[in-house]
Structures are given as structure tokens and as C-alpha cells.
Amino acid sequence: MASTATAPAPQPIPPSLSLPPSQFARLQPHAYLLAHLSPPASSQQPSIRANGRSPSQFRVTSANTGSLTHTNGSAVVRLGDTTAVCGVKAEILHTEDIASWSVSHSSSSSFASNKRRKLTNPTAKLGEDRTDSGDNESHIEDFSLLVPNLSLSTGCAPGLIPGAPPSALAQSMSHQILSLLHTSRLVRAEDLQIWYERPNFGPEEPEHHNESEQMDVDVEQEGSDEASIQTGEIKAFWVLYIDIMIISLAGNPFDAAWTAVLAALRDTKLPRAWWDVDNETVVCSDIVSEARKLSLWGLPIASSFGVFEADAAAGWRSVTIQDAEEERKLAEGDRKGIQRRWVLADPDGYEEGLSQERVCLVVDKPQGGDGKVFIVKMEKNGGFAVDRKELKELVDISTRRWEDINQILKQC
């Protein structure tokens, strides 16, 4: 391989002409990684990735929250050399600014159902919890209360032009994050509602859940119509602008970005807000003790994988046209311990360039549950190497990853 890259040598290549590893890695990336993963049997070396990790090993991850002054919540997540900064800024959307509000929502018919949900056992099965969605949950989607945007135009990698509009990659990731926020129902709609309590109702604020909950039980029996009249109405919503800046890109930006979003949302504090009748506007209190954190549903954690195939550089036809015969050969090779495909966890930039097939798994383990793992999102695309059996293994790896990230997020 080295002889093809260097000038034609008259005699067998002298050692001085051999390439240093860093150049070999650039010229023949596929062969370089393959050589690491399948060392000759005689060398007694273990199969290891070019970056020194084992196939299922993730990079060192660290998270730091709350360091940005002007945000409601912020996080910096480093995943090896990939760094994502996420800042959450909350703004207020008045219901009078929502065109469809007055038509679709007569005061708060959803309030009762919302409270009912609250009364269900919070440690109940995750799946049940999430499906039990009233009108309430659709608020987040219908009124665009979550606005995530990911930016790669920060000079984070050589190929990306700074200041250019978001690339297709950045756009897809923004969409993936939004869609994951919606499907995982991570943020509760009730956390984002700002209520107006009619004065005759008493001095309590709607945020005092314990009291209002108690009272709600009574009200519910009288019927939801009366409940809505008595409990007040939604006057505004918090809108969370979730901006993710990828400061440094060295592979697997999605995991870094999602972990940053998760950490930032966990850190997010919303001020106590109420409808001020005199000013006809929403007013907030700046007292820290009155602000409350978002109560998130679960902790969905993402792990991404790339598939590296040994034969991709050899005859391309044999790769693309795989028949039963070849499958059998592969299986045979597996039995003999000759591996032709590697599923690499948390691929770095170098490995990403060499893998066509990607898998992204988002799993969650509900607190207080029976330790059962739920998959929130499972994506696999671009190849045939990962099928049922492999996916099952990857779910196990992702579960272990969940524990790790859970620990990291708890500490920050």
C-alpha cells in the first residue's frame, strides 16, 4: 500500500520511505482502520480501533451546566473532541398572539384532564404515561413551544463554511431534535403554561400544585365545565428557544447535541409568571426561590453507531450484490473468528467517513420502574449489516450507555 502512495521505488522500499502512521491514515483510511481492527493472527494483537477504543466503547464524556449567564438553562457537553454548547432561553407567547387560540380553546377544558393525569402514579409504566395525553400535550406541538436549532456554522470543522445558512446536516439534526422532543414528550406542557387565576378564587397561585390538586379532585366531580370556569384560564405560554452550537466537530454530533439539550433542559429554571390584569401582560418574578425547574418526563439518552465493513474497498460488486451464498460465507467466517463487519460505537470523524451504515438509538429507563428499558427512537439506515440480532445487541450497549450518561448528568 505504501509503495502506491510514494514515488515508484527502484528497489524494495527502504525503511526511510515508509509512511508515518498519520500519513498512511490519510492516504488509505479504509486499509488503515481495517488493519487496526483485524490485526494478523500472528501478531497476537487485540482488535482495536485506530483511536484506541474497543468497538463498543464510547469516548470520554463530560457535561457542565449553568455556566452561561443569560440563559434560563445551559450546558456544555464534550464527547471526546466533539463539543456542543446548548442554551435555553425562555420567552413568552401570549394567547392573544396565537391566531387559532380563541377558536380552538374555550378557556381551559384541558385543565381538568391535565390534573387527572397528574394524579396518576408518576412511577407508572412509561408507555402508559406518555400515551395518556390530553389536549394539553398537543399544545407544545400546535403552538411551537419548543424551538430547537442546531448550528454547525461555527468554524467547528474545516469543510463547513462559517456564516453559511445551515447545511443539510444541521437542518436534519435540528429536525431530529425537535421530533425527538415531541415524541419523547420530554417537556411537559403544563410546565409551560402561564395561568390567570380569577381573583374570586382565592390567594393561591396556580403553581401551588398541592393545594390546587386537592381542590381539583372536588371540582372534577362537578364536571369539567364548572372546573374551567373556576380554575382560571391560560393566558400565555413559555416558549423555549433551544439553541445548540457545535463548537468542535469530531464525529457523532447528534449524541453530543442531544446530551447537551437534555442537560440544559434539566438545568432550565423558569421564573414564576402571572397575568397582570392592570397592565394586561404577563409579569415574572425575579426571585430565585420562586422559580421552578422543568419537570422532565424521563431521561432519553442517545447512542449512535457506525458500521465499518472490511470488504467495502475490495470489489464493489461483491458488496452490493450480496446473495445467500455470501451470507453463508460471512456466517462461516464469524464462526471461525474472522470478522468482516464491525459496529463501532460513537464513531469519530475519521470513522464516520468510512461507514455508510448508521444506527441511532435513544433509550430510556423510567425511574422507579422495574428496570425495563424503553426505546424512544431507533434508526438504522444505509446498509444491511445490522439486522435483528445486531440491533438487540446495540440496545444492550445503549442501555449501558444510559447508565453512564445518567451518572454524568446527575453529577453536573
Partner 1 sequence: MGGPIASLNPLNRADGSASYKCVSTGSNILGSVNAPIELPGRRDALKPEEATIEVFVKPGTAPGGVGERYIEGVIRNALGRLILGRENGYPRRGVVITLAIVGGESVGRGGSYLPLLPALLHTAALALLSASVPLSMTLSATVLAVDSSGEIIREPSVKDAKAATSLHALAFTSKGQLLLNESEGAFDFGTWETVYERALAICHGTSTLSSDGDVAMTENVDSQPLEGVLRDTVQDQIHSEYAWKIDAA
Partner 2 sequence: MTDRRRINGPSGGTRPPVFASSIKSTTTATERPQRQRQPNELRKIFLKTGLIPSASGSSYLEFEHSASLSAARALPKSLIPPSSSLKLACTVHGPKPLPRSATFSPNLVLTTHVKYAPFAARKRKGHIRDASERDLGVHLETALRGVIVAERWPKSGLDITITILEAEDDRWWGDAPDSHDAAWGMMNVLAGCITAASAAIADARIDCLDLVAGGVAAVVVDESVDGGEPSTPRLMLDTDPAEHRSLLSACVVAYMPARDEITELWLKGDNSKASVGTDDKSLSYETLIDGAVDAARGAHSVLAEAVRESAERLAGLETGYST
- Positions touching partner 2 (CB under 8 A) are 20, 22, 67-71, 74, 81, 83, 85, 87-94, 97-99, 143-145, 147-149, 151, 153-158, 161-163, 165-166, 171, 174-175, 178, 239, 241, 243, 245, 247-250, 269, 271, 273, 279, 281-288, 291, 349
Pick the stretch among 51-59, 62-70, 101-109, 372-380 that binds partner 1 (CB under 8 A).
372-380
Residue 360 near residue 254 (C-beta atoms within 8 A):
yes
We find the least distance from the C-beta atom of residue 354 to partner 1, in angstroms, to be 14
- Contact between 375 and partner 1 (CB under 8 A)? yes
Residue 90 near residue 268 (C-beta atoms within 8 A):
yes
Backbone angles phi, psi at 33, to 5 degrees: -70, -40
Residue 241 binds which one of partner 2, partner 1, none, with CB within 5 to 8 A depending on kind? Answer: partner 2
Q: Which of 360, 390, 356, 392 is nearest to 377 (CA)?
A: 360
We find the least distance from the C-beta atom of residue 288 to partner 2, in angstroms, to be 4
For the stretch 372-379, contacts whose Cβ atoms lie closer than 8 Å and that sit 24 or more positions apart, written own/partner, are: 373/399, 373/402, 374/126, 374/127, 376/180, 376/183, 376/184, 376/300, 377/180, 377/183, 377/184, 377/300, 377/302
Q: Which is nearer to partner 2, 143 or 258 (CB)?
A: 143
We find the least distance from the C-beta atom of residue 382 to partner 1, in angstroms, to be 4
Sole binder of partner 1 in the list 79, 178, 242, 405 (CB under 8 A): 178
Contacts to partner 1 from residues 52-71, by CB under 8 A: none
Residue 343 near residue 37 (C-beta atoms within 8 A):
no
Q: What is the Cα–Cα distance from 367 to 373, expressed in whole angstroms?
A: 10
Sole binder of partner 1 in the list 24, 241, 350, 374 (CB under 8 A): 374
- Contact between 392 and partner 1 (CB under 8 A)? yes
We find the least distance from the C-beta atom of residue 76 to partner 1, in angstroms, to be 24
We find the least distance from the C-beta atom of residue 176 to partner 1, in angstroms, to be 6
Cell numbers at 189, concatenated: 406542557
Q: Which is nearer to partner 1, 196 or 297 (CB)?
A: 297
Cβ partners under 8 Å of residue 10, min gap 6: none
Q: Which is nearer to partner 1, 84 or 219 (CB)?
A: 84
Pick the stretch among 65-73, 75-83, 114-122, 123-131 that binds partner 1 (CB under 8 A).
123-131
- Contact between 395 and partner 1 (CB under 8 A)? yes
Burial of 268 per CB tally in 10 Å (0-12, 13-18, 19+): buried
Burial of 104 per CB tally in 10 Å (0-12, 13-18, 19+): exposed
CB atoms within 10 A of CB 62: 13
Residue 170 near residue 153 (C-beta atoms within 8 A):
yes
Sole binder of partner 1 in the list 205, 356, 400, 412 (CB under 8 A): 356
Backbone angles phi, psi at 377, to 5 degrees: -155, 135
- Contact between 116 and partner 1 (CB under 8 A)? no
Q: What is the dihedral of CA 186, 379, 158, 350, to 10 degrees?
A: 130
Sole binder of partner 1 in the list 70, 317, 335, 336 (CB under 8 A): 317
Sole binder of partner 1 in the list 322, 330, 352, 400 (CB under 8 A): 322
Q: Which residues bind partner 1 (CB under 8 A)?
A: 126-128, 130-131, 141, 144, 146, 166, 168-169, 171-172, 174-176, 178-184, 316-317, 320-324, 356-358, 364, 372-384, 386-388, 391-392, 395
